[in-house]
Amino acid sequence: MRSFAIAVVLVACAGDEPPASGKCTGAVYDPCIEEHDCLSLVCQNFAEFQVCSQACDDATPCPDNAACDTGFCKPAAPNDCEQ
């Protein structure tokens, strides 16, 4: 029983950062370099990062509570994936 408790503590403490979700798929908010990296064919450069995005306005809001910034959806941070 004591070994089990130690194992639970070790697993709970392992890695403070969540692992990357894997390879980027071109989904909205995945990091990108050019438009062909994105399923939407929109690779938008914001000051902090460059991500796959989509057009937005009052009639077409952004998914996942992202902000509509100069006509494109800008998330708080890019998706956690690798190109």
Q: How far is CA 17 from CA 4, 10, 12, 80, in A?
A: 24, 15, 12, 11
Please indicate, yes or no, whether the overall pTM of this predicted structure exceeds 0.95: no
At residue 45, the 3 state secondary structure works out as: strand
Confidence at 21, pLDDT banded by 50, 70, 90: low
Confidence at 61, pLDDT banded by 50, 70, 90: very high
Specify whether the CB–CB gap between 24 and 78 falls below 8 A.
no
Domain boundaries, the chain: 21-83
Q: How far apart are CA 20 and CA 30, in angstroms?
A: 12
At residue 26, the 3 state secondary structure works out as: coil
pLDDT at 16 over 70: no
